């Protein structure tokens, strides 16, 4: 009777089994890595209908973040300014600029400008701006020196691992609530630590603020449900 299987069949079968056993964890690892690095597009300016410059409006003109992002202290979303907010200034300043033609058209038609999101978290992530702002997380912590940015772009990965670093060690990032909007803020700006009689370090100040703001225990901050409910 003729041989049904090639002499190498046993070897091929063994290699296939070993490859499957080793390949599955590798596949899971790749999927995990993709999930943890979701949305990487750092330092890549996002094209917008109007090339709005935070540097000009914040650094040059001294406009506070909350003037445009009115909902940031009380809503999950920071909010985008409506065209009436833009035209409160630009009906008088640069009123004929070609660059502001989309703004004027939006104002006349009542149709909002379709801005392209810079920080576009996946749908399975829940993020609340007001919670972070009211717990002393500065705009700069997530958005970097947006006051120096001619064009808006991400400066942090916004990956799961990046968020978890803050949730595990909030003392490394917190600042006084009145300094949330201050760009270039330093822990020493908070004054002298009465315990050491020296300017505050970030960890010293952060630990005090964790208590003052009643920041939840790490176990809760890193619970899946906190961000994925």
Q: Which residue has the higher pLDDT, 96 or 21?
A: 96
Looking at residue 210, its pLDDT comes to 97
- Which range (25-29, 30-34, 161-165, 206-210) has the least confidence? 30-34
Q: What is the pTM of this model?
A: 0.79
Kindly report the backbone phi and psi dihedral angles of residue 193, in degrees, each rounded to the nearest multiple of 5, phi listed first: -75, 115
Q: What b-and-e string marks burial along 104-142, b requiring 16 or more CB atoms within 10 Å of the CB?
A: bebbeeeeebeeeebeeeeeeeeeebeebbebbbbbbbb
Sequence spans of domains, the chain:
42-47+124-229
pLDDT tens-digit series, residues 97-118: 999 999 999 999 999 999 999 9
Helices (H), 118-217: 129-134, 139-143, 160-168, 202-212
Query: Nearest 5 degrees, angle CA 124-CA 216-CA 188?
Result: 105
Confidence of residue 205 (pLDDT cuts 50, 70, 90): very high
Closest CA to 37 of 26, 47, 29, 27: 29
Using CA atoms, how far apart are residues 140 and 88, in angstroms rounded to an integer? Answer: 26
pLDDT beyond 70 at 35? no
């Amino acid at each position: 009777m003729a041989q049904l299987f090639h002499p190498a069949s046993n070897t091929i079968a063994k290699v296939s089994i070993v490859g499957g056993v080793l390949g599955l964890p590798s596949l899971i690892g790749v999927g995990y890595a993709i999930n943890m690095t979701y949305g990487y597009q750092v330092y890549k300016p996002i094209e917008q209908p109007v090339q709005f410059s935070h540097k000009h409006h914040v650094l040059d003109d001294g406009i506070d973040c909350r003037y445009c992002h009115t909902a940031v202290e009380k809503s999950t979303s920071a909010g985008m300014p409506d065209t009436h907010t833009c035209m409160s200034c630009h009906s008088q300043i640069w009123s004929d600029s070609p660059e502001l033609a989309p703004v004027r058209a939006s104002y006349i038609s009542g149709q909002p400008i379709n801005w392209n999101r810079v920080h576009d978290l996946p749908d399975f992530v829940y993020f609340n701006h007001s919670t972070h702002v009211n717990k002393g997380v500065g705009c700069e912590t997530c958005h970097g020196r947006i006051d120096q940015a001619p064009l808006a772009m991400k400066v942090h990965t916004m990956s799961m691992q990046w968020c978890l670093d803050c949730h595990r060690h909030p003392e490394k990032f917190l600042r006084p609530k009145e300094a949330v909007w201050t760009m270039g803020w330093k822990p020493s700006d908070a004054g002298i630590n009465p315990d050491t009689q020296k300017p505050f370090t970030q960890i010293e100040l952060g630990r005090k603020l964790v208590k003052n703001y009643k920041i939840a225990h790490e176990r809760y901050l890193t619970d899946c449900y906190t961000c994925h409910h």
